[in-house]
Structure 1
Amino acid sequence: MPVHGLDAPWKVARVTGPSMSPTVRHGDRLLVRRVRPSGRVAPGDVVLARFPSRPELLVVKRVRRAVPGGHWLEGDNEFATDDSRSFGPAVVVGRVVIRLWPRPGRLPAAPPIWEQPI
């Protein structure tokens, strides 16, 4: 099944669930900029993505690395996340630019677990 991108250049996404805590929390509103299929994302970027096995589901995750078929994504909360470890590679459709609400501003850097070698 094809994975569809975002229909507009900018999107506001509402976070549901704890998978990216403490970076973003349930209820946070994020400003997301569309990424085209040829667009670049880097390890450590927080993105909006779809898994080909679950194309109806949009997720907010952190890019771990590029892999055949897309990107390997993982949540910052290693104890509560469904990510590439469950669903395989993902297609990135947007990059999170800032948090709009409730604590406006840039997202913090990746937690210490991300500093470990892959």
Structure 2
Amino acid sequence: MISLRWLRVRGPSMVPALYDGDTALVRMGVDPRPGEVVLVRWAARPGQLSVKRAVRRQDDGWWVLGDNSFGSTDSRQLGPAEVLGVLRWRISPRPGRIR
């Protein structure tokens, strides 16, 4: 089922696309395209949700990376992730489409 949720970004992993404290809308339950910013869950850390950029689909999930490679824990360390939704719009502090 497709739904909209909002979230608050924590940490520096997606700088410059998103900053710590940004609020964004997530379209849940949609399939991403490579290059889109996504909300993911890791098999190795089931209680942790992360915001990353979708790179490519793999047999067991999506390979995702943070835009800030110096401040990101991503598929390089944790392997493929389960994509829960796609971030579409930043609500604050700079409203606009997320690219």
In the superposition, the TM-score normalised over structure 1's length comes to 0.80
Counterpart of 1:83 in structure 2 is 74
Check whether the contact 2:31–2:85 (CA below 8 A) recurs between aligned residues. Answer: no
Name the counterpart of 1:14: 8
Shift of 1:17: 0.4
**Match 1:58 to one of 18, 28, 49:** 49
Q: Within 5 Å, which residues of 2 pair with 1:1-118?
A: 9-35=3-29, 39-108=30-99
RMSD: 1.4
Higher strand fraction (1 or 2)? 2
Of structures 1 and 2, the larger Rg is shown by 1
Q: In percent, how many aligned pairs have the same letter?
A: 45
Q: State the distance in 1 between where 2:6 and 2:66 align.
A: 19
Cα shift at 1:68:
1.4
DSSP-derived class of the 1:44 partner:
coil
Letter in 1 for 2:76: R
CA shift for structure 1 position 97: 1.0
AA matched with 2:8: R
Runs of 4+ in 1 over 4 A off after TM superposition: none
Give structure 2 stretches of 5+ with no counterpart. Answer: none
Q: How many residues align?
A: 99
Instruction: Measure how far apart 1:11 and its partner are.
Output: 1.0
